[in-house]
Structure 1
């Protein structure tokens, strides 16, 4: 079957480590696994890190990439794949598809049957394929960890990427006042179009916020602390611009701030996200949809750093 996979590692030029070609059909490591015919998938920065050799070892190559997908199960049902699978031998006890088990950038992928959620009516496969990683992470940051229902305002640092842009769109859909920062003027215009107040990095906010969505790291963390209201929650799921920020602990205890780490979400949270998007007609921010025959272009677009939202791969085109 046709697939896109890591055939080598290249820390400086990850695109050079990407190969598109034939791979064997999926196998089932356990009886409760099934094969899904993939209809649509989406890229995450995790895929580029895999090509750089982060999280993979040489003896795991070649590894089919991709975490997110929508497809058709053996019974003909349209399903969304939850990408976290039980993984004996991994210190976490679980892994994401494309770490230990082949991923979703292929004609077919094997997953545990319990990882399949129904695709809601009215939600396109190319939209739903954006949700299981980046949008699920943003949903958990806002709801489970950030407890956004207890507050009225949100700051999203570094909007433009998948998680941050999802947090903007979801925060607005949840009825919150959303502020978002970006260095890029064009991206600030698009943030404004989503219903948020766009600001340059480090800009003073009109108010202190109840929840901060932090995926940038050291470059923005001091601003996150200064922008947080008393009892606010600063939720961290990434550190793209440095993982060792200086933290003013006096502000943390004086303002009674919570700094919370998170990653991904649960199958139940994904089900809640799917239902929310279907009921409230929330659709993911899609940078572009690329046919699988041109998946190399999708990787190049993500690697360019110019994306706003998700890059989606249509496996039916």
Structure 2
């Protein structure tokens, strides 16, 4: 070793200095729910919540909005395969070392598939190592009776077409009995199953408001909230119009139930939990680096 280098090393040891560590690079990925999307920012989330959340990043460019075909079963190439491809590309392109994933509805199931099956795809282990936490907004972890109603061809098929799509495989997957089987055999994080390798925290929507005289009912779209209040009649008293609270709480842990933290203690309907409603964007933003 050169004498100057030896002296520098000795001085560093004497002073107790440690080699400089590379700074962590934090990124956030938004993973949509059921549906086929080529531009999920516009068609699923809308820019308001994306822009609100990414302000909490040290580098606001380090975000990605996933756009895949989640009308498929969660393990299919166009679903989990597409998600894995886009997450891996984002991690590599931006040098992400800590990834926060924000999912909505069935997107939580697709993400859980990746986290639960590390040997299924060569891309999964790197994603699992990089993901620091998953924030699951109204995840359909235990399915919904409304999916059963759509598949069984009841009158729900026409009234829920805007929300669920028609008889596609993702809706079949979200039938209550089907999700019970997947949770027992293929997915981690539910009662009696191994824990997920990274925190999976649910934000639970507990009610729907759709009064025409209440301005809060218009956040996320009044017509959508009106439809969700109608379907709530076939769910439990605690639901977001699409999912019972028990389904949303079935995997991982509960971060919070809507009214505990939203502005004005407002509930989040299933549509509002993917919008910048009642301070949700700020809550997600402040949590990014926690």
> Normalising to structure 2: TM-score of the pair?
0.27
Which of the pair has more CA radius of gyration?
2
Specify which structure has the higher proportion of helix: 2
* TM-score with structure 1 setting the length: 0.25
| Structure with a larger share of its residues in strand | 1
